[in-house]
Structures are given as structure tokens and as C-alpha cells.
Amino acid sequence: VSTGLGQALACAYLDRGDRVYGVSRRQPSDLVRRQRFAFASVDLSELDAVVPRLESLLRGVDALDLVVLNAAVLPPVGDMRETPLATLKHAMDVNTWANKILLDFVFDRVARVDQVIAISSGAAVSSTRGWNGYSISKAALNALVRLYAAERPQTHFSAFAPGLVDTGMQAYLRSMPADARYPGLEGLKRARGTPDMPAPDAAALRLVVEFERLRAEASGGFHKTRAR
């Protein structure tokens, strides 16, 4: 919730009057001043340290309408051959395995969990050259969601690709020098400031509505935003 889509989603739900529990490493200075917002600083790459931080955040909570698994890292764009295994493992830890820890904790401690949305990406299925560990981690995330959905019929699960959103992740991609191996980077630069790449606040308002609609779909599926 410290920045980007997660921060904007937290804000959108608070504006609706919902109570929001958020995590990230950095504290979101604007959100922590809001009523009905609770925050814990958690480094999701430190897998063994996640549960103790969640214990205090969710103490006494017995129902959650929605769990959004949003945090992710984008490893440096580059070919698989050039990408160290440690970089791929780090992306898997944050983008995939931390979500197993979050889900297991929530299902263990919270009696009612209605819906889980895992924020995925088109890269989960496109495996575009250069997106190395990001693609792999999001493909695995989609599988993780489908597996949990089969195990837990009382909760509705979706993996969801939000489309392009103008966040820090996109700022990093724009900062990359042109490289003939990764022609998609130029398209991302062109998309900025167009309806194809909304600001996080605008995207979040749309996603809140789309998340509701996903509940009519079969649990466990992968969906892309309808906005593009």
C-alpha cells in the first residue's frame, strides 16, 4: 500500500467507508492518517518474518470481504541468460511465495474470507522477451490462485491483470534505454498520458467495480481488465 496501485486501491476502499489493512515496507504517510486504516511494515521477501507482523495487524479480525495480493517486484528487464538465479528467486519470493504465506495466515486466523484477488499481469501468459522472472512469477501466481480455488470453495479467487497503470513500475520501464531485443518498451513509453495507461487513482476506481464483477465468474480464473 505504500505507492502505485496498492496505495490507490487502499484509498478507494477507504473513500467508500471500508476498513483497510495494508502492508508494504515503506509506510504510506497519507494513508496512516486516515481513519479505518491499519498498517504493518512487512518485507515480503523475508518469508520467515511475515507471519509475526501479520499477527499484530489482524488480531481480532474475524471477517474479510476482500484480500488483494498486490505487492510485486519487476526484476531488471533482460534476457533469461543474463539474469542471475538470485534475481529470479527474489521475484518468486515476493510475487508468488509471499502470497502463499499471506493466504495461509489469513485462512488460518480469519473465519470468513469472501474474495481473493491476486494482481497478475498479461506477462503471465505472454512471456514477452525481457520480462524474465516477472513472467515466471506471475504465471506461477495464476497457478497458485487456481490451486487454492479448488481447495477452498467458500472463498472466490481470481488472478487479475490490471492493464497498464502509470506507477513506479512503469517509470522504471520508461527509464530503460531503447533496446531492439525488447520492442515492447517503446510502446510503454508511448502509452504514458493516454487512456491506455491511467494514473493509479483512476485505475483503482475502475478496478473496484471490476473486482465486484469477477465474483460472477468461476473461481480460480485469470482475467484481464475490460478497460483496454
Q: Decide: is 158 part of the binding site for ligand NAP (CB under 6 A).
A: no
Q: Decide: is 5 part of the binding site for ligand NAP (CB under 6 A).
A: yes
* Residue 53, C-alpha cell as written in the block: 507482523
- Give the length of the chain: 228
Q: Which stretch binds ligand NAP (CB under 6 A): 21-29, 54-62, 105-113, 175-183?
A: 21-29
Please select the residue that binds ligand NAP; options are 67, 91, 164, 214, rule is CB under 6 A.
164
Q: What residue is closest to ligand NAP based on CB?
A: 4
H-helix or E-strand spanning residue 156: strand 156-161
| DSSP calls for 68-126 | EE-----PPSB-GGGS-HHHHHHHHIIIIIHHHHHHHHHHHH-SEEEEEEEE--THHHH
Q: Decide: is 121 part of the binding site for ligand NAP (CB under 6 A).
A: yes
Q: Which is nearer to ligand NAP, 64 or 69 (CB)?
A: 69
Helix (H, G, I), strand (E, B) or coil at 66: strand
Please select the residue that binds ligand NAP; options are 165, 185, 204, 207, rule is CB under 6 A.
165
**68 in Cβ contact with 20 (< 8 Å):** no
The residues in 168-187 that bind ligand NAP, with binding defined as CB under 6 A, are 168-170
Q: Decide: is 70 part of the binding site for ligand NAP (CB under 6 A).
A: yes
Please select the residue that binds ligand NAP; options are 40, 58, 61, 73, rule is CB under 6 A.
73
Q: Decide: is 44 part of the binding site for ligand NAP (CB under 6 A).
A: yes
Q: Which is nearer to ligand NAP, 73 or 208 (CB)?
A: 73
Angstrom distance (rounded) from CA 35 to CA 17: 9
Q: Which is nearer to ligand NAP, 153 or 193 (CB)?
A: 193
Within 8 A by CB and 6+ apart from 27, the residues are: 2, 39, 41
User: 147 to each of 91, 130, 159, 202, how far by Cα in Å?
Assistant: 20, 27, 11, 31
Footprint of ligand NAP (CB under 6 A): 2-6, 24-26, 42-45, 70-73, 94, 119, 121, 161-162, 164-165, 167-170
